[in-house]
């Protein structure tokens, strides 16, 4: 990429961070077969210098692509689309250029038409309009994507539910450096890949080895959950409350059982219950005495027709999402979605930052 091209770039400065070729290569190695027979659209990429264009052009045959399309944005004047369907992979200037009527804004109808034609969008997008426009548009048109984003997105109202509901997830690598229009390097500590393409790590379970002790995993002050400082410390044996439906709870003696929070089961209200304070079972639960779970569940079975599961919630750092397999865990919410005290979780009065709440799938 020549400096002149970069310096000539007229777009808003805070969106002008260009992705390095090696970072694209590093991430793309984890998607074997995903691009075969596909149309890839890089919709924030000037083929004169975009390393996304370059990567997919050079690897066109190797990836088995059907077509590569790029469009790019200019604030002041119309731009063009460039399309490549193979035959001269190493010559990145090979491709058909067609002028666009507009300025290449990914929201323009002509760009949306290209989006409709495409299978997978791969790019590093303007961070400033990512959440309002770019990501909702990908979902509106039901597109596969692999994009560079920001760790902070995880807390956004638009994005968190997508992560929670397994509609998008984190890719593999962090992207630490970008090139700026003046040729200098800009370092970031929070940029990474997001995708909805299936990847191996989504099916790899964390090995849990740590045993639960109340001292090491304190309760939140304002939510029925335990705090886990490090993802690698998620305890393998923690279970704290038992879920019963509202109907079933009517059979339980209210002096023996206590509701800790409400939930939803098969569209109906449910309660998470534990043995009541001052009971022998509560003492067993509190102290996590050997066999406590079996003893409590034996008692529970007196009031239930079939065995219920117990399922503790863990508050973990958001970096957990890097290791998240939906086959092992489900995401319950974050501080905002759970409407904790002004979006804040506290442990012993101390604010816990950037947490999400998860449950093991039993
Ligand atoms: C973070 S840069 C990344 C550029 C390139 N994709 C790369 O990875 O090197 C985001 C680019 O999106 C462009 N852009 C800004 N607003 C846009 C819009 N509405 N539509 C399309 N591109 C836009 C910016 O000019 C900028 O070049």
Domain boundaries, the chain: 3-203, 226-360
pLDDT digits (tens, 9 = 90+) for 2-59: 444 444 444 445 788 999 999 999 999 999 999 999 999 999 999 999 999 999 999 9
How large a percentage of the chain has pLDDT more than 70? 94
Q: Determine the pLDDT at residue 306.
A: 66
Residue pair 300/242 in contact (Cβ under 8 Å)? The answer is: yes
Reported confidence tier of residue 142, pLDDT bands at 50, 70, 90: very high
260, 226 contact by CB (below 8 A): no
Residue 295 above 60 pLDDT? Answer: yes
Return d(Cα 340, Cα 332) in angstroms, integer: 13
| pLDDT of the residue at 243 | 84
List pocket residues of ligand 1, CB cut-off 6 Å: 11, 15-19, 44-45, 50-52, 73, 104-106, 123-126
Query: Going by CATH, does the domain composed of 3-203 fall within 1.20.1740?
Result: no
Report d(CA 135, CA 209) in Å as an integer.
Answer: 37
Distance between CA atoms of 52 and 143, rounded to whole angstroms? 18
What does the pLDDT read at residue 307?
A: 60
Please give the pLDDT value at position 90: 98
* Confidence at residue 8, expressed as pLDDT on a 0 to 100 scale: 42
Ligand 1 atom closest to the Cα of residue 74 is: 25
Looking at per-residue pLDDT, the higher value among 273 and 11 belongs to 273
Cα of 18 to ligand 1 centre, how many Å? 8
User: Measured in angstroms, how far is the CA atom of residue 11 from the centroid of ligand 1?
Assistant: 8
Give the number of the atom of ligand 1 that is nearest the alpha carbon of residue 105.
20
- The CA distance from 314 to 165, in Å, is 18
Residue 38 corresponds to which tokens in the numbers above?
């596909």
Q: Whose CA is nearest to atom 25 of ligand 1?
A: 11
Q: Is the dihedral of CA 105, 107, 112, 118 positive or negative?
A: positive
Highest mean pLDDT among 182-186, 261-265, 268-272: 182-186
Mean pLDDT of 185-209: 96
* Strands (DSSP E) found in 308-361: 313-317, 329-334, 345-347, 350-352, 355-360
With beta carbons less than 8 A apart as the criterion, state whether 310 and 239 touch.
yes
* Interval between CA 1 and ligand 1 midpoint (Å): 15
């Amino acid at each position: 990429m020549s400096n002149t091209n970069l310096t000539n770039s007229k777009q808003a400065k805070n969106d002008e961070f260009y992705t390095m070729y090696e970072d694209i290569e590093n991430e793309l190695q984890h998607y074997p077969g995903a691009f075969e027979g596909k149309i890839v659209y890089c919709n924030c990429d000037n083929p004169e210098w975009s390393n996304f264009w370059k990567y997919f052009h050079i690897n066109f045959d190797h990836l088995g692509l059907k077509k590569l399309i790029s469009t790019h944005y200019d604030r002041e004047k119309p731009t063009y689309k460039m399309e490549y369907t193979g035959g001269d992979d190493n010559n990145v200037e090979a491709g058909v250029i067609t002028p666009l009527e507009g300025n290449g804004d990914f929201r323009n109808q002509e760009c949306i038409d290209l989006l409709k034609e495409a299978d997978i969008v791969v790019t590093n997008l303007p961070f400033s309009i990512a959440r309002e426009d770019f990501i909702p548009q990908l979902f509106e048109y039901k597109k596969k994507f692999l994009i560079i984003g920001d760790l902070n997105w995880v807390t956004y109202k638009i994005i968190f539910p997508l992560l929670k509901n397994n509609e998008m997830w984190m890719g593999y690598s962090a992207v630490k450096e970008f090139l700026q229009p003046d040729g200098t390097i800009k370092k970031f500590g929070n940029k990474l890949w997001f995708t909805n393409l299936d990847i191996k790590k989504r099916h790899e379970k964390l090995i849990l080895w740590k045993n639960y002790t109340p001292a090491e995993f304190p309760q939140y002050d304002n939510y029925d959950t335990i705090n886990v400082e490090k993802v690698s410390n998620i305890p393998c044996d923690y279970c704290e409350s038992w879920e019963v439906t509202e109907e079933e709870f009517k059979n339980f003696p209210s002096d023996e059982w206590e509701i800790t929070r409400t939930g939803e089961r098969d569209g109906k209200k449910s309660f998470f219950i534990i043995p009541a304070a001052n009971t022998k079972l509560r003492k067993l639960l509190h102290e996590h005495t050997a066999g406590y779970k079996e003893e409590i569940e034996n008692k529970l079975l007196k009031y239930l027709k079939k065995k219920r599961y117990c399922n503790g919630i863990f508050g973990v750092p958001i970096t957990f999402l890097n290791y998240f397999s939906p086959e092992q865990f489900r995401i319950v919410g974050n501080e905002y979605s759970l409407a904790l005290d002004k979006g804040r979780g506290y442990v012993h009065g101390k604010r816990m930052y950037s947490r999400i709440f998860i449950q093991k799938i039993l």
